[in-house]
Structure 1
């Protein structure tokens, strides 16, 4: 099988997959937001272009050749719309006119037979796309930084870095007679853009850390590819193709992994949403939101009837000192043997990894099972905040209705 075809197809499919992962992540985190709509449009145009050209390479020339060229002509306009939204400023009118006119011209030229239009149409498209990306990078780098927040400035820097990375690699996507380029590399730049853009969902990650991680991923991929080249004794052309495939695979894996981690973080933030949006009518209603948390495997409210078999004095003393008690704390020397037996029995009876105090009078506990995050410091802090809020809600309810505290 043709090595050029396999390498080009793999890199393009990997880039299209990375774009789809990023679009899904953006729409899930920010549904309906204007900037996300603009970015999704641009990413969708790129995904269509990449997927349709792979179909052309594998023999389905019509209508996918026309679709590929039309989408390619739309790329600078899509990038311009996104940059305007990111900067919250209008681009110069000359940029808008050129991007719009170019998209219309190439939508018409896409219908010309290749035998008539090659190679001048390909050269014109290359110049148009290079000029468009260069103009957008300049627009981002020359912005008024004081008009944007720190996070917005970091976002603009990452996007500009991605556009500048695309420029040298974009030229490899255009092949001309006498210049046999081993593999089209624009897909690598697109994957880098997807990874950097997806990293914006992690506000705690510094820009420098993102660049270092990107360099580490690329270095790992090149090292692995280099080992394959040495083992197989490949020629120069095949070696470049192998290195490109390794880079595309590693970057796509990083994008998918980050998407999974971001989704897990969003699910874990359910406790924070509970604090912000929980039902404050009473403690039972408030803790009901905790039952729907992704990492909580069951939650029970334990009142005097459920605690009747245990020494109330011991429980009151323990939970006065530890409003939130983990199973791992029970075995510490802080508790005597009798107290440990009671706490172990209570946790085993209700299958609990945590016990939290809901109210003091009457003594009410909540038993929940959260084994996956039992030792996560952040989760413990969030759960402690939930416990304190639940106790405040219960005390407020008791003050409004003193009969409930008797």
Structure 2
């Protein structure tokens, strides 16, 4: 078994893992959507291709190699049904017939072993796949934009770009067309597309965070592949490319798994905002009591004005009136370090080991002092604390 075969099998195996994870993520987001069903069919076809093909390479089975052509020929069909779902329109009848007939003819031909007519069959299959993607991209690009919502148009634009970007990766899978290619990159292209697809489904700020994280993964995995390649003796350009393809594919697949698992676990964890949303409390005091049972607020203690006599509540009123949440790290909160009220607030936080003071009322003084561990002090936690403060103020 050559290094090229091993590299191809690993990259395709990573593609299978990534596509299956993407299917699970899409199903969890909206299992009842008709478009989700279309995406699952399309991704399932591609995943089946990568699975059968990698198994054929690892086992040397000519039967599996023949059967792998069936899902390969069905890929344009999967792309077309996704295109129809996104446009909410049927594709022209001629395109539908061409995709179905081509899938049946080329698929049956592969199952019967006709791909042994290496170059002609590979060219026919490659042209069929490329024509299918080109047709889908054309339908997406020439759509009636007024018939779709703005969010749908943005999604279609991204999908059009994805269809164009994936074409060069698909071509590398055809050895008859690119016999000198060290490793087949079709699975890597699929991983990039599903990663971009899941990122596009995020909110604006989260989307940019995910893009930056993906870029970091791509750069770091490429550097890792380069470093690993030079460990092997007699390294050449082909070997470097194989190592890089393996590293990038593996990191993308692992990234999809970790992101999906983290999202799943976070959705099951009792978030502070979800706790507020489902709380049966009818008064602010009841809501505060509910919050104090949440892990984020379990260390919190409420201080009313009569408990703060040592800190001059009258002096604190003016300062607390202009603040909602005070962070110890931000002291003296825009005031002079020798400001009497700022000094007293800093002293209070030090005395009770608090990292945050949540202002419930400035007149009379009513605050929550809580300690947020440094491992939990991320922007999401800060936002949750600020939102809880606003909710508590409005329920006064």
- For the aligned pair, the TM-score class normalised by the smaller chain equals 0.7 to 0.9
Match of 1:234 in 2: 235
Counterpart CA distance in 1 for 2:62 and 2:283 is 64
In structure 2, distance between residues paired with 1:236 and 1:318: 69
**Could you tell me which residue of structure 2 aligns to residue 179 of structure 1?**
179
Shift of 1:3: 0.8
What SS class does the counterpart of residue 45 from structure 1 fall into?
helix
- Compared with structure 1, are the counterparts of its residues 115 and 388 closer, same or farther at alpha carbon in structure 2 (3 Å cutoff)? closer
List gaps (5 residues or longer) in structure 2.
Answer: none
1:16 is matched with: 16
Checking the alignment, whether the CA contact within 8 Å between 1:154 and 1:207 is kept in structure 2 is no
Q: CA deviation at 1:132?
A: 1.2
What is the aligned partner in structure 1 of residue 161 from structure 2? 161
Which secondary structure does the structure 2 equivalent of 1:179 belong to?
Answer: coil
CA contact 1:316–1:360 (8 Å) conserved in 2: no
Secondary structure of 2:242's counterpart equals helix
Give the distance between the partners of 1:196 and 1:66, measured in 2 at CA. 31
Mapped partners of 1:143, 1:166: distance in 2: 21
Q: 1:116 to 1:337 in 2, by over 3 A?
A: closer
Higher mean C-alpha deviation, range 266-275 or range 90-99 = 266-275
Moved more, 309-318 or 23-32: 309-318
Structure 1 counterpart SS, 2:89: coil
Alignment of 1:301-312 (within 5 A): 302=302, 310-311=308-309
Are the aligned partners of 1:158 and 1:207 in contact in 2 as well (CA < 8 Å)?
no
1:241 Cα deviation from its structure 2 partner: 2.4
Partner of 1:191: 191
Deviation for aligned residue 1:186:
0.8
Q: Is the 8 A contact 1:35 1:86 kept in 2?
A: yes
TM-score, normalised on structure 1?
0.74
Q: How does 1:356-371 map to 2 (within 5 A)?
A: 356-358=358-360, 365-371=367-373
- For 2:9 and 2:196, how far apart are their aligned partners in 1? 23
1:77 matched to which residue of 2? 77
CA contact (8 A) 1:162 1:189 kept: no
CA distance in 2, matches of 1:118, 1:107: 14
Unmatched 5+ stretches in structure 1: 396-406
1:344 aligned partner: 350
Give RMSD over aligned pairs.
4.4
Tell me which residue corresponds to 2:34.
34
For residues 34-57 of structure 1, give each alpha carbon's deviation from its aligned partner in whole angstroms, at most 9, with x where no partner exists.
322321221122122212221121
Q: Does structure 1 conserve the Cα–Cα contact (< 8 Å) formed by 2:12 and 2:54?
A: yes
> Does the 8 Å CA contact 2:199/2:211 hold for their aligned counterparts?
no
Contact 1:30 1:36 in 2 (8 A): yes
Aligned to 1:401: none
Query: Deviation string for 1:104-157 (max 9, x for gaps)?
Result: 445544542x37864465544333222211211212222233433443333222
TM-score by length of 2: 0.76
